[in-house]
Amino acid sequence: GKSQKNLLQYFKIN
Amino acid sequence: MFEARLTQSAILKKVLDAIKDLLTEATFECTDSGIQVQAMDNAHVSLVSMNLRSDGFDKYRCDRNLSMGMSIAVMSKILKCATTNDTVTMRAVDNPDTIEFMFDTPGKDVQAQYEMKLINMDQEHLGIPETVYSCVVKMPSQEFARIVRDLSQFGENITIACTKEGIKFSAAGDTGTANVKLAQTADSGESDSVTIEMQESVKLSFSCRYLNFFIKATPLCEQVQLSLSNDVPLVCEFNIGEIGHIKYYLAPKIED
C-alpha cells in the first residue's frame, strides 16, 4: 500500500 | 484601519469555495501590499498559500499590519449572503476583535452588514522552501477537474506521469484501471492549450481526496499549473483573476 506524508516539518520554520 | 473593497463579490465567493473544504480556520495577514493566507489542513497533509494583491482591489487601505484569525466556515456563510454583483467591503479597526463585511447591491439602496468575531489562533510559522521543479505543466483547469473527478471513481490515488510528449493521469483499483493522456499542444498561451516544461520526467502518485479539494478552485481561472519533482510536494496553482493566486501543496504518496 501507499502512505501519505505529513508535511508539517517540511513547511515549519523553526 | 483596514479596508478592502471589491466591486464584484464573485471573486471572493470563489476564493472561499476554493478553500472552505480544506481549511476550518486561517490567519489572514493584511499588509500594505495585500492579503496573504498560508495554512495547512488539520491533518497537515496539504498547504494552501493564497495571495490577494492590494492593487487588485478597487479600494485598499491598511494602516497597520494585521493578523486576523478567521473561521472559514463562518466567512463562507457570510459571503453566500452576497450576490455576485454586490460590492463587498471588508473593514476592521487597528486592534480588531471583529471584522465587518458590507455588501452593496448596485442600483439599490440596500446595504447588508455582517460582523464576524475573530479567533485567537496559535501561529504556525510556515515557509515554503525554494524548489526547482522537474516538470511544469499548464493545462485547462476544467480538463484537470474532469480528469480528477473521473479517475477518482477507480482508485484512491491518481498517478501523474509527465514526459516531453505529454502528461498521463492514471488510477487503478479493484474494479479496473483508468488512463487519460494529454499531449502538448502546438499553441501555448491559449485557454485550451497544454504546455509542458520538462527537465526530467516524473511519475508520482497523489491522493484523490486532496486533488478533489484542489479542483474547487477551477472557477477562478481557465488554466491550472502543476509543478512536479520527485520527493517534493506537488504545487497546483490557480490565478485569482488579475489580483492574485492560490497554490495548493500536496506530498506524493510513498510506497510503504
Specify whether the CB–CB gap between B251 and B55 falls below 8 A: no
Specify whether the CB–CB gap between B253 and B45 falls below 8 A: no
Please tell me the predicted confidence (pLDDT) of residue B105: 94
Q: Of A2, A6, A7, which has the smallest distance from its Cβ to B256's Cβ? A: A2
* pLDDT tens track for B153-174: 999 999 999 998 899 999 999 9
In this predicted structure, the answer to whether residue B104 has a pLDDT above a threshold of 70 is yes
Q: Which amino acid is at B149?
A: R
Please tell me the predicted confidence (pLDDT) of residue A14: 64
**B244-250 sheet: strands from edge to edge:** B66-71, B25-31, B34-40, B46-53, B244-250, B234-240, B223-228, B135-140, B195-198
C-alpha distance from B206 to closest chain A C-alpha (Å): 9
Contacts of B157 in chain A (CB under 8 A): 2
List the single residue in A with minimal CA-CA distance to B125: A13
C-alpha distance from B189 to closest chain A C-alpha (Å): 32
Q: Of A2, A7, A13, which has the smallest distance from its Cβ to B47's Cβ? A: A7
Please tell me the predicted confidence (pLDDT) of residue B187: 85
Residue identified by cell 479517475 is B151
Rounded to an integer, what distance in angstroms lies between the CA atom of residue B135 and that of residue B113? 46
Q: What string of H, E and C letters represents the secondary structure of B154-171?
A: CCCEEEEEECCCEEEEEE
Of B14 and B254, the structure prediction assigns the larger pLDDT to B14
Stated length of chain B? 256
Average pLDDT, chain B: 95
C-alpha distance from B171 to closest chain A C-alpha (Å): 13
Please tell me the predicted confidence (pLDDT) of residue B231: 87
Q: What is the mean pLDDT of residues B47-64?
A: 97
In this predicted structure, the answer to whether residue B126 has a pLDDT above a threshold of 80 is yes
Q: Which residues contact B96 (CB under 8 A, 6 or more apart)?
A: B2, B66, B68, B118
Q: What is the mean pLDDT of residues B48-63?
A: 97
Please tell me the predicted confidence (pLDDT) of residue B122: 82
In this predicted structure, the answer to whether residue B124 has a pLDDT above a threshold of 80 is no
Write out chain A's pLDDT in tens, 14 residues: 789 889 999 998 86
Of B123 and B194, the structure prediction assigns the larger pLDDT to B194
C-alpha distance from B37 to closest chain A C-alpha (Å): 14
The reply to whether residue B40 touches residue A7, judged by beta carbons under 8 angstroms, is yes
In this predicted structure, the answer to whether residue B216 has a pLDDT above a threshold of 70 is yes
Distance of CA B165 to CAs B136, B178, B185, Å? Answer: 13, 19, 10
Q: What is the mean pLDDT of residues B200-229?
A: 97
Mutate to test the interface with A, among B22, B41, B45 (most CBs of A within 10 A): B45
C-alpha distance from B250 to closest chain A C-alpha (Å): 8
In this predicted structure, the answer to whether residue B137 has a pLDDT above a threshold of 90 is yes
Q: What is the mean pLDDT of residues B28-42?
A: 96
Please tell me the predicted confidence (pLDDT) of residue B204: 96
The predicted complex's ipTM stands at 0.92
Residues of B with CB under 8 A from a CB of A: 40, 43-47, 124-129, 157, 205, 207, 233, 249, 251-256
Q: Is B63 exposed, middle or buried (0-12, 13-18, 19+ CB in 10 A)?
A: exposed
Cross-strand partners of B66: B30
Contacts of A10 in chain B (CB under 8 A): 129, 233, 251
Please tell me the predicted confidence (pLDDT) of residue A1: 77
The reply to whether residue A7 touches residue B126, judged by beta carbons under 8 angstroms, is no
In this predicted structure, the answer to whether residue B8 has a pLDDT above a threshold of 80 is yes
In this predicted structure, the answer to whether residue B56 has a pLDDT above a threshold of 80 is yes
In this predicted structure, the answer to whether residue B235 has a pLDDT above a threshold of 80 is yes
Contacts of B249 in chain A (CB under 8 A): 7, 11
